[in-house]
Amino acid sequence: MKYTPHKYQTYATEFIKEKKESALLLDMGLGKTVISLSAIKDLLFDSFEISKVLIIAPLRVARDTWKEEIEKWSHLDILKYSVVIGSEKERIKALDEKADIYLINRENIDWLVNKSGYSFNFDMIVIDELSSFKSHKSKRFKALMKVRPKVKRIVGLTGTPSSNGLMDLWAEFRLLDMGERLGRFIGQYREIYFRPDKRNGMIIYSYKPLKFAEDLIYKKISDITVSMKAEDYLNMPEKINNEVFVNLSDKERSIYDTLKNDLVVSIKDKDIDAVNAAALSNKLLQMATGSVYDEDKNIIHIHDKKLDALEDLIEGANGKPVLIAYWYKSDIKRIKERFDVRELKTSNDFKDWNQGKIPIAIIHPASAGHGLNLQAGGSTLIWFSLTWSLELYEQTNARLYRQGQKESVVIHHILTKGTIDEDVIKALENKEKNQAALIDAVKANLK
């Protein structure tokens, strides 16, 4: 297929070529893969500035999306790639192949750097979903930092750079510029831009940015960062967010409130313990959805209110394909017992969905994540149970609401009234507002 880039795509490709280090905060659906590959091709075969590229991505994206994009566009047919995924034997074989681009999933970065026995001789790195390197304590971050000085060029791609706040940015930009803009040490970054927030004596659980921090941080990174929102550059169809509330009975409400207030509740002679806030949050989310795990991992039924609402939404779709997002294993078990659904997990599943062969599909946000194109298969998404993760929430929504979608996208959220469901949806909205400030601050000026 012939590639006729939009103006913003040409701008972004040139930005990568001009900068030794760059961060592209591209909204989902703007074509970050073909933008990056076009820059790689020019750097390899026009200016001869690089010779060997490593692309790090989520597993399914590394395995499927990048190679599909290379094979899709005629101007990229010169590129040779090797997929470094699978067993260790398969990975070693892939590294031995002569190629321009090597695709690897992020979980294998530590293996590549520290255990494979191969010399790290890549002169360009592209990190697809830079936000997955936001933890400076992770093995993947430490491994990549170890070889970062050997790399001439590096590109970070993401649509969600700071899904949990400004603290995420330090590790991401430490990888890109070796600490030039936000400092070489996380302690230094905290001291300059933050103050302790939630704490217990000397133990600090979270930090709050100082008043000047946001503007100054954005200014510091603006020279190597470009951001773009889909609505600014594409004629996207309408996106409709819909909240569908269900109500608990008095008995169900009593069980929920008891757990919330006392942390321990007895259900059918089984004790459900919530020993800390995180565990309590999980228990309450499970109960709001309709079932809860006991200490032996048995599923205890609470209510079917969300299943009833889901049935109404499926019927209301009038035969149009429906994609259901869930969070807990108990959710998919209950949904499968009631509906004829197919879980999207493999490449064939995604292909069948896009070809309209699956009327009701179900997917976990962690599997729906980065880079999957599902817009051809439908335009209705139903959140049966929610996640606290803004990144997974936005990425899942963007599987349908992205470039190439022909119809208005309807995103339903089934929420149990008066429960933690309402807190989660508000938290996602607030995080989205905070992240929007970062995106706006470094927006590309294409005028």
Q: Is residue 444 part of a domain?
A: no
pLDDT along the chain (447 residues), means of 10: 90 96 85 94 96 92 87 94 96 96 96 95 95 93 96 91 82 95 94 85 81 92 89 78 89 85 62 62 88 81 91 84 93 94 90 92 82 83 92 88 83 93 89 70 60
Q: Is residue 192 part of a domain?
A: yes
125 and 271 in one domain?
no
389 and 366 in one domain?
yes
- The domain boundary residue, chosen from 207, 233, 259: 233
Rg, C-alpha atoms of the chain: 23
Amino acid at 408: S
Q: Is residue 1 part of a domain?
A: no
**Quick one: pLDDT at residue 233?**
78
Pairing of strands 239-246, 101-105: unpaired
- Do 146 and 7 contact (CB within 8 A), yes or no? no
Q: Is residue 443 part of a domain?
A: no
**Quick one: pLDDT at residue 88?**
95
Which tens digits make up the pLDDT trace of 178-234? 999 999 999 999 999 998 877 777 787 778 889 999 899 999 999 999 988 777 777
Which tens digits make up the pLDDT trace of 396-418? 998 888 877 888 888 999 999 99
254 and 220 in one domain?
no
- CATH number for the domain including 307? 3.40.50.300
- Closest to 390 (Cα-Cα) out of 418, 430, 363, 417: 430
pTM assigned to the model:
0.70
255 and 223 in one domain?
no
385 and 258 in one domain?
yes
Task: Please identify which residue in the block is written with the tokens 């149009």.
Answer: 320
DSSP 155-219: EEEES-TTTT-GGGHHHHHHHHHTTTTT-SSHHHHHHHHEEE-SEETTEE--EEE-TTHHHHHHH
Q: Is residue 301 part of a domain?
A: yes
Task: Please identify which residue in the block is written with the tokens 């790399």.
Answer: 151
With 0-12 / 13-18 / 19 or more C-beta atoms within 10 angstroms meaning exposed / middle / buried, residue 251 is exposed
- Do 109 and 138 contact (CB within 8 A), yes or no? no
Backbone region of residue 308 per phi and psi (left: phi > 0; alpha: psi in -120 to 50; beta: other values): alpha
**Quick one: pLDDT at residue 34?**
94
Average pLDDT, the chain: 88
3-state secondary structure of 346: coil
Greatest Cα-to-Cα distance within the chain, rounded to the nearest angstrom: 71
3-state secondary structure of 439: helix
Q: Count CB atoms within 10 A of the CB of residue 292.
A: 26
Q: How many domains does the chain have?
A: 2
**Quick one: pLDDT at residue 154?**
98
Residues 161 and 438: their CA atoms lie apart, in Å, by 8
Q: Is residue 289 part of a domain?
A: yes
Domain interval for residue 109: 7-233
Task: Please identify which residue in the block is written with the tokens 């429960």.
Answer: 419
**Quick one: pLDDT at residue 444?**
63
